[in-house]
Structure 1
Amino acid sequence: MSRHRIALVMASGVASALLLTACGSSGGDSANTGAAAPVASASAGSAAPADGGTSAASSGTSTASSGTGHMVSTNMLMSKTMSGMGAVVTDAQGFTLYRYGKDQVNMSMCTGDCAQTWMPVMADGTPQGMGVQAKIGVVTRDDGMKQITLAGWPLYRYMGDSKAGEMNGQGKNGMWFAVTPAGEKMAAAG
C-alpha cells in the first residue's frame, strides 16, 4: 500500500475516533488532579504538504488515543488570521490551539477527564513556529509526555473543533481561550 494511502487510512481512522469520542463526551471541562493518562504516539509524517499545511496525511500533526486519553502531536505552530477575530496560533493542520485558565506557566493542570476534551499538544520532535512571536518550548507532564508551550503556557486542541479554522472552544466556561502569536489569551467576545 502506498504511503499516501496509508496516511489517508490513518487520517480517516483518527477522524472517526474523534467523532465517536466527541459524541460520547460528557463535556467535562473541569481539571482532574490525577496524573495525565499515558497514550501511544502516532506520526503521520512531516513532509510539507502542497495545500499550505492543511493535509492530515502529511502535515506533521497526528492524533492518538488509548482507552484512557487523547493527545495531538505536532512539530509546527503557525499564526493564522481568523475572520473577525485576529491572529491565533494553530497546529500544522490549521486547528486552533488554546490556553487553559487554571494552568500555570510551565505546568499543565488539565489531566484526566479534562484532557479527554482538551487534547494536550505534544511535541513531535523539536517544535517550531511560523509567524509566532512568543517563545516556543515544552513542559514535561505528570505522565512524562512533552507538551508544547507558548510563552510558557501549555497548549491544547479542543475536541469540539471538527475542522481547521473553527474556534468553538473560545471563551468556553470562561477558562479556555485561543492563544495569540504573542502567547496571550484571545479576549472573549463581548
Structure 2
Amino acid sequence: MNPRRIVPSLVVGLASAFLLGACGSSADTGGVAPVTPAASDPAPSTPAAASTPGDGGGSASTAPGVTTGVAARAVDGIGTVVTDDKGMALYRFDEDQPSPSKWTCSGTCTKTWIPVIVPETVQASGVRQSLLGTVHRNGRTQLTLAGWPLYRYVGDTASGQVNGQGKNGEWYAVTPSGQKSTTTG
C-alpha cells in the first residue's frame, strides 16, 4: 500500500473509533435498567436514596433535564411547595395514582408537563426523604412524592413561578407532604 494513503486512512480510522466510543450506545440509560412499562402497569415505586456530599449524587456529569435535588420553598401567593434543584415548581396530576405509583400523562401531555427524571440519588431539603420514591417511565426514572409522579410545567420559565397551578382543574403544585396545593396565586 502507498505510504501516502496509509497515514490519512489511519487518521480517519482513529477519529472514527474515537467518535464512536465517545458517543456510546443509544441503549445507555445512565445505570437505569431499560424497562418500558405499559401505562396501565408501571413498575412499583421504590424509595429514592439519600445523597450525601462526596457520594457522587448530583455530579456535574448528570444529564441535562435530570433533577438531583428537591426543596420546600415558600412561593408568593401560594405557600410552601416543592421545587427542583433550579427552583422550578413541581406539580402532581390528579389523573395519576399514588399507590402504587402510576403515571398517565404521556405523548403530547409530556410536552407541556415534563416528567421529573432523576438519577439514583436525590438530595432533599424540607421534604421528608421517606416520602420520595420513583416510578419507571420508558426506561427512565421519574421522581414521586408520597407516591405521586412529579412534573414541571413548560409555562414556568423562572424560579418561583407557579403558572401551572390549578390548570384544567387537575394539575397542582405539590406540597412537601405530597398533597396538592389548593391555594391559587
User: TM (normalized to structure 2)?
Assistant: 0.63
Matching of residues 105-120 of structure 1 within 5 Å:
105=98, 106-120=101-115
SS at structure 2 position matched to 1:124: coil
RMSD: 2.7
Look up the SS of the partner of 2:69 in the other structure.
Answer: strand
Give the letter aligned to residue 158 of structure 1.
Y
Which ranges of structure 2 fall in alignment gaps of 5 or more residues? 1-38, 41-56
Deviation at 1:62, TM superposition (A): 3.2
Q: 2:86 aligns with which of 80, 83, 93?
A: 93
Given that 2:77 and 2:184 are in contact with CA atoms closer than 8 Å, whether structure 1 keeps it comes out as no
What is the aligned partner in structure 1 of residue 34 from structure 2? Answer: none
Normalised TM-score (structure 1):
0.62
With a CA cutoff of 8 Å and minimum separation of 6, indicate the structure with the bigger relative contact order.
Answer: 2
| Paired AA for residue 94 in structure 1 | G
Moved over 6 A (4+): none
More strand by share: 1
Select the structure of larger CA radius of gyration: 2
Contact in 1 for aligned 2:67/2:118 (Cα 8 Å):
yes
Deviation track 1:21-62 (CA, whole Å, cap 9, x = no partner) reads: xxxxxxxxxxxx79xxxxxxxxxx936xxxxxxxxxx6x783
* Corresponding residue number in structure 1 for 2:17: none
Q: Which residue of 1 aligns with 2:124?
A: 129
Partner amino acid for 2:79?
Answer: G
Aligned to 2:7: none
Structure-2 change in CA distance of 1:119 and 1:186 (3 Å): same
Matches for 1:31-180 after TM superposition, within 5 Å: 46=58, 62-63=64-65, 73-105=66-98, 106-133=101-128, 135-141=131-137, 143-180=138-175
Equivalent residues, number: 130
Contact 1:136 1:150 in 2 (8 A): yes
> Partner letter of residue 134 of structure 2?
V
The 1:155/1:165 distance shift into structure 2, 3 A limit, reads same
Structure 1 gaps, min length 5: 1-32, 35-44, 48-57, 64-72
2:111 aligns to what SS in structure 1?
Answer: helix
